[in-house]
Amino acid sequence: MENLYDLVIVGGGIVGMATAYKINTRNPDKKILVLEKEGEVAAHQTGHNSGVIHSGIYYKPNSYKAKLCVDGRRELVAFAKEHNVPHDICGKIIVATKQSELAHMNKVFNNGLANGVEGIECINSAQIKEIEPYCEGIEGIWVPCTGIIGFAAVTRKYRELFEAKFSQSKVLTNCAATAFEHHAGYTTVVASKGTFNTKYLITAGGLQADRLAAGAGAPSEAHIVGFRGDYFDLTEQGKSKVKNLIYPVPNPEFPFLGVHFTRMIDGTVECGPNAVFVFKREGYGKTDFSLGDTIEALKFKGTWNLFTKHWRFGLDEYRRAFSKKRFLTGLQQLIPSLTMDDLQPGRAGVRAMAISAEGETLDDFKIEAKDNMLHVINAPSPAATASLAIGNAIADMAAIQFGFY
């Protein structure tokens, strides 16, 4: 049969590429094709995230996030060292600025202990000052194994190794999968560069995850809703006030970590993000709009249930999105000396949040199996950090579902 592959993976983000690399490493005789609709891998969530190598301290013990983040972090750091991917294990602090945050801060710390996050310690206000002299806090957590890296560079390295080691496998960019036709023993993937037949199929589409699964005949109960995160960069003057990474204690009522300070691998320092509902799934501008995306999101009752539960939070985030002064006020909770002159407009990213019909965000990674297919439905942060471990987990599932060993 023409154009027959053992496996087609739709989605060339960090999870899709890590999965291709891991499965082919275990099965070097398999012919694998990765389809990516953009001109380069890592074009969306992977290339727009904060570049933080997460420790695994936040996540519920025994969850997939907790295990895969810790395992994935260690493997990622070893991978970056072996393949000369620029990175820095610089550490970070999580800072409580008021008494009401201490109970949840202690819970975060205990989660870190349960998850096996190495080296973490509780610190006092004086120790916070030793690490970040401009930061004000009453207590905090020092997390020495957190680091920074460029995840787009990591993904490109996965692709390079995948194509170099397995000559029968390849990545096709500018090639969007538009339809799936199931036949006895194989599936035809209809794409913008032709049709491709495959024995097995994996989708890892990030912001398009639910659409790809549904299009392949495996609709998920979860629905993807996009949230844009806007960042500011610190000016040369402002950069002197941040050494590495400064995070607040996350609000347990909301599925976001809050605005924080991140030194990037290129030496810049960014602060943010906020979290606002997007009217276009891949819309990075504040006024980007897609009628189809908007109608689809607002037709789903889970979106309205989410809005109802968190309308005060959402309204405040929208205000910050269009007010530099409000954004600054939030940042000053951690660094009171920060001024308007320390901030300049930065980039934006869009996060795919999988939510249920009840408006609950899925709190863990979610991969669904059906027939000859696996679908990555929910892979939010820390998926980039955990990418190699997620690739291993999917390879384990492929061994069961597809008979790949």
- pLDDT computed for residue 171 by the predictor: 98
CA distance 173 to 177: 11
Per-residue pLDDT at 309 = 85
8 A C-beta contact, residue 334 and residue 243? no
**What would the mean pLDDT of 372-394 be, rounded to a whole number?**
97
Long-range CB pairs of 162-169 (<8 Å, 24+ gap) are 162/17, 162/20, 162/21, 162/24, 162/32, 162/34, 165/24, 165/25, 165/28, 166/24, 166/28, 166/32, 168/31, 169/20, 169/24, 169/30, 169/31, 169/32, 169/33, 169/34
pLDDT at 201: 98
Q: What are phi and psi of 276, to 5 degrees?
A: -125, 140
pLDDT at residue number 319: 78
| Cα dihedral 86, 268, 109, 365 sign | negative
pLDDT at 313: 75
pLDDT (mean) for 239-243: 97
Q: What is the pLDDT of residue 274?
A: 87
Residue in this structure with the two tokens 């579902």, named with its chain if needed: 401
**Dihedral sign (CA 6, 8, 14, 17):** positive
- pLDDT tens for 253-298 read 776 778 899 999 999 999 999 889 999 999 999 899 999 999 999 9
- What domains, with CATH codes, occur in the chain? 4-46+152-222+363-401 (3.50.50.60), 223-242+252-361 (3.30.9)
**What mean pLDDT do residues 382-405 have?**
96
Q: What is the pLDDT of residue 256?
A: 73
Give 144's pLDDT tier (boundaries 50, 70, 90): very high
Whether residue 405 has pLDDT greater than 90: no
**What pLDDT sits at residue 279?**
94
Whole-number pLDDT of residue 142: 98
Instruction: Output the pLDDT for position 323.
Output: 87
The H or E element containing residue 180 is strand 177-183
The pLDDT value recorded for residue 112 is 98
Q: What is the pLDDT of residue 257?
A: 74
Give 39's pLDDT tier (boundaries 50, 70, 90): very high
- Summarize the confidence of residues 326-351 as an average pLDDT: 95
Question: Looking at residue 190, what is its pLDDT?
Answer: 98
Query: What average pLDDT does range 193-219 have in this prediction?
Result: 98
Decide if pLDDT at 25 tops 80: yes
* Beta-bridge partner residues of 248: 95
